[in-house]
Structure 1
Amino acid sequence: MTALDESKAEETVIIDLAGKTSIADWMIIASGRSTTQVGALADRIIKALKEAGGSTPAVEGFPANDWVLIDAGDLIVHLFR
């Protein structure tokens, strides 16, 4: 969340999935104002996950950046333009 807040993500929603599905415990959905910002948000999140000791997440949606999906195991992040 800090990475999203610092990068000025908009309309951020956190969804607790624990006990509701086996695919993840948390989902975060956020928006950026442009494809450039969506790409920067994704880069920032990936960097924050690695700094926190996580492995490299699976990422889809690069390089177009109209939407980006980051799958970090127990956390899934959807970014939209």
Structure 2
Amino acid sequence: MILHAVTKAADDKRAENITALDMEGISPVADYFVICHGNSDKQVQAIAREVKDKAEEFGVGIKRMEGFDEARWVLIDIGDVVVHVFHRDERVYYNLERLWGDAPHVDVLTS
């Protein structure tokens, strides 16, 4: 499943506090949101690049990737999964987990 592949890719680049939210029935945008952060611009870019590469390995094309050059909030649209890779400070500021507080969490890294 692509959800597990991209969360593992983020984990491989030492993304912190990786959270997957089940957005089915909550958001028309995607079935799952993956939210994580890095502690530097270079780490944010490395995480985003690894997620993109892993999705392409699975034969899933990237529909859109925004924010890569600024490395503050990189959004990677993989269709059914949207990955948000934040710089630590921006993650605290935008707090998407609170915004989408009704969404159930998916345990992806231990399964």
Q: TM-score range by the shorter chain?
A: over 0.9
What residue in structure 1 maps to residue 55 of structure 2? 49
1:2 deviates by 1.0
Within a 5 Å distance, the mapping from 1:38-77 to structure 2 comes to 38-77=44-83
Query: Which structure is higher in strand share?
Result: 1
CA offsets 1:7-44 (integer angstroms, 9 cap, x no match): 11001111000122211000000000100000000000
Q: Which runs of 5+ in 2 are unaligned?
A: 1-6, 88-111
2:30 & 2:62 partners in 1: Cα distance?
16
For the 8 Å contact 1:32–1:79, the answer to whether it is kept is yes
1:6 deviates by 0.9
Q: Please say which structure displays the higher CA radius of gyration.
A: 2
For the 8 Å contact 1:58–1:70, the answer to whether it is kept is yes
- What is the Cα-based RMSD across aligned positions, in Å? 0.9
Q: Is 1:19 matched up with 2:25?
A: yes
Give the number of equivalent residue pairs. 81
For the 8 Å contact 1:26–1:75, the answer to whether it is kept is yes
1:49 & 1:57 partners in 2: Cα distance?
11
Amino acid at match of 1:50: E
Runs of 4+ in structure 1 off by over 4 angstroms are none
1:56 & 1:19 partners in 2: Cα distance?
23
